[in-house]
């Protein structure tokens, strides 16, 4: 099978020739993997080919005006949504952490006038050009930030205020979610059209759980988040595309709703979180949903030895592969503290044990 055929089969809970494989990584481990394989620092496709990756994201680049200025005196970068990030270093690398939350105390008028990107200011012609370079890879649009109400609003209003907004139906918070989602939908729709049939699925996201429990109630999800999610799903289905949703933590409590809404697959699947063990997910939801993830970035890949990684990956494959519907992937970005030999062992295990024998 081609990568496209393999991924589409898995998302429809069919049995491909082997499990599709995906790769997500922080810059530090990504660079060390390229060095391990003797690749140039910018050879992203070369690394993915070495790892046997079947997936490729597609996005229209922003070419519009600068909407929000950086704050260099404070080391803060600001993107076109106005989200502020500050670099935080640690022993094995670092990350851009969210800070300041400029709309935390904003009223409806302030939110309505907050500069946001126009869908007209993206280069959709670049999408068409990129499609010619994608070979037979399975292509997706979107990602974990589409529409990601809890995080997306939280980056601008803070998590506490975002939760208060949802519980009290605060007009400013509701408007922020509506504005962001409407813009994202228009951009994604135009990107799909520009790709002229080359997109294979839509990836969306919403972090709904802590490690131990739901982050919000099912009633609150249905009232404040599900309607916005449905708009994304309906857009995808209007183009006959499957939908995969990213959700961190203990989130299986929402999987029944996901299936009802038309979602085809769930991503992340942290096995250490409550009610997220692969065997539980496969037995409970395997007849309704496909799965992408399950290989913990906080488990053997980071803290074990290569043989521990292989054993963990093999066990997960044995649970998730029967009947199809599984894509092999890390639960999140592979972390910079992951030894190179462990990540190499992870992908070698997928190649060796992820093949269907008919």
Tokens 């010619």 belong to residue: 132
CATH number of the domain that 171 lies in?
A: 3.20.20.210
Domain that holds residue 192: 3-66+105-353
Decide if pLDDT at 358 tops 60: no
Residue 72 belongs to some domain of the structure: no
Instruction: Tell me, yes or no, whether 93 lies in a domain.
Output: no
How much is the pTM? 0.97
> What is the structure's pLDDT at 93?
85
Residues 304-314 have pLDDT tens digits of 999 999 999 99
Is 95 inside a domain boundary? Answer: no
Q: 348 phi and psi, to 5 degrees?
A: -65, -35
pLDDT at position 92: 86
Q: Is residue 99 part of a domain?
A: no
The model's pLDDT over 61-98, given as tens digits with 9 standing for 90+, comes to 999 999 999 999 999 999 999 999 999 998 888 889 99
**pLDDT per residue over 172-206, tens digit each?**
999 999 999 999 999 999 999 999 999 999 999 99
Residue 55 lies in a domain: yes
In a domain, 118, yes or no: yes
Tell me how many domains the chain contains.
Answer: 1
Report yes or no on 77 lying in a domain: no
Residue 117 in this model has a pLDDT that exceeds 60? yes
Q: What percent of the chain has pLDDT over 90?
A: 98
Whether 306 is covered by a domain: the verdict is: yes
Per-position DSSP letters for 272-302, written without gaps between them: TSTT--HHHHHHHHTTT-EEEEEE-TTTHHH
């Amino acid at each position: 099978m081609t990568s496209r055929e393999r991924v589409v089969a898995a998302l429809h809970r069919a049995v491909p020739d082997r499990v599709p494989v995906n790769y997500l990584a922080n810059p530090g481990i990504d660079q060390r993997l390229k060095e391990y394989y003797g690749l140039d620092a910018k050879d992203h496709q070369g690394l993915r080919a070495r790892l046997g990756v079947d997936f490729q994201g597609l996005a229209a680049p922003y070419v519009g005006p600068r909407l929000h200025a950086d704050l260099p005196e404070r080391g803060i970068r600001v993107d076109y949504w106005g989200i502020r990030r500050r670099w935080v270093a640690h022993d094995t690398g670092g990350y851009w952490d969210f800070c300041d939350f400029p709309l935390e105390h904003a009223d409806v008028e302030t939110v309505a006038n907050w500069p946001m990107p126009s869908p007209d200011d993206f280069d959709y012609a670049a999408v068409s050009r990129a499609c010619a370079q994608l070979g037979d890879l399975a292509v997706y649009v979107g990602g974990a930030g589409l529409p990601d109400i809890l995080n997306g609003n939280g980056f601008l209003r803070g998590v506490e205020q975002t939760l208060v907004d949802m519980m009290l139906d605060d007009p400013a918070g509701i408007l922020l979610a509506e504005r962001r989602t409407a813009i994202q939908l228009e951009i994604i729709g135009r990107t799909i059209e520009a790709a002229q049939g080359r997109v294979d699925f839509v990836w969306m996201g919403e972090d709904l759980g802590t490690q131990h429990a739901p982050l919000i109630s099912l009633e609150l999800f249905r009232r404040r988040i599900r309607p916005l999610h449905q708009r994304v799903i309906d857009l995808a289905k209007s183009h006959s595309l499957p939908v995969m949703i990213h959700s961190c933590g203990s989130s299986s409590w929402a999987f029944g709703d996901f299936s009802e809404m038309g979602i085809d697959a769930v991503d992340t699947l942290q096995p250490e979180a409550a009610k997220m063990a692969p065997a539980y997910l496969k037995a409970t939801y395997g007849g309704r949903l496909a799965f992408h993830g399950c290989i913990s970035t906080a488990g053997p890949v980071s803290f074990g030895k290569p043989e521990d990684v292989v054993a963990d990956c093999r066990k997960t494959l044995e649970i998730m592969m029967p009947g199809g519907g599984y894509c092999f992937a890390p639960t999140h970005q592979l972390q910079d503290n992951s030894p190179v030999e462990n990540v190499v062992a992870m992908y070698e295990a997928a190649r060796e044990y992820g093949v269907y024998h008919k």
